[in-house]
Amino acid sequence: MRADGLVQPFVAADSLRSPRNAISVGPGANAVSSSGKEMSANVDDRLSRANERPDVPVLPALIFGVGLLAGSTAQLISPLTIVPAHFADPLSRLGQLVIAVASVPVLWAVVSMLRLGTPPNPRRPTTALITSGPFRFTRNPIYVGLIAVSAGIALTANALFLLLSIPFMVLGIYRGAIVHEERYLEARFGADYRAFKTRVRRWI
């Protein structure tokens, strides 16, 4: 976990300004000066990357909202059910259970992110690479949870078109958010994120 990932650059930057590192005597002076310039460039690069924002073109919440709206509209136009009416009550109870269980990783992930000071909003800069909590099981616990919640809503309503809209939500989240987030995180955290990708799956 890299909760203190942004602390080191500032420490390194302060050390570069100290007279001890700025002044050197003897044959090694040029080497020290060159090393100092390289360290300064690395610090500037780290600080620049810390201020970058993920290039997420569409808010994931909007993707889920549009998917649910489209599924609901299709359901109103053609009210097809998942199961016959006499099975609707058990299916509804199952859907409610799915919603309750699926909400856990969403809330858990948000709390984990806020505790480490990194925003859940995918359009804001990520300040920490979180690998604990629900992120031990999936790299995208919020998206996985919201997809399952959407499925639970479809089951509760016994609405076939709502259920059929979920694959389009998954595709929208992948193309509209996850691809861009992964590119940003790999550039931001480098080898740490690549190691995280090898340990934990994108979905489940």
| Per-residue model confidence as pLDDT tens digits over 134-169 | 999 999 999 999 999 999 999 999 999 999 999 999
Res 25 pLDDT > 70:
no
pLDDT for the residue numbered 5: 43
Give how far Cα 62 sits from Cα of 79, 128, 178, Å.
24, 25, 14
User: Which of helix, strand or coil describes residue 69?
Assistant: helix
**Same-domain check for residues 70 and 37:** no
How many structural domains compose the chain? 2
Is the residue at 100 inside a domain? yes
Pair (70, 162) in one structural domain: yes
Residue 131 has pLDDT above 60, yes or no: yes
Confirm whether 2 is domain-assigned: no
Pair 43, 73 in one domain? no
Residue 201, pLDDT score: 96
* Helix residue spans in the chain (DSSP H): 7-17, 19-22, 29-51, 60-77, 88-115, 141-157, 160-164, 166-173, 179-189, 191-199
Shared domain for 94 and 40, answered yes or no, is no
Do residues 110 and 135 both lie within one domain?
yes
- Shared-domain flag, residues 71 and 30: no
* 122 & 194 share domain: yes
Q: How far is CA 199 from CA 125, 127, 134, 196, in A?
A: 23, 21, 13, 5
Whether 11 and 98 map to the same domain: the answer is no
Verify that 165 and 90 share a domain, yes or no: yes
- Domain span including residue 35: 7-51
Q: Tell me the pLDDT tens digit for each residue of 35-84.
A: 555 555 554 455 455 457 778 888 999 999 999 999 999 999 999 999 99
Considering the domain boundaries, does residue 70 fall inside one? Answer: yes
Q: Is residue 204 part of a domain?
A: no
CA 144 to chain centre: 11
In a domain, 1, yes or no: no
Q: What pTM does this model have?
A: 0.74
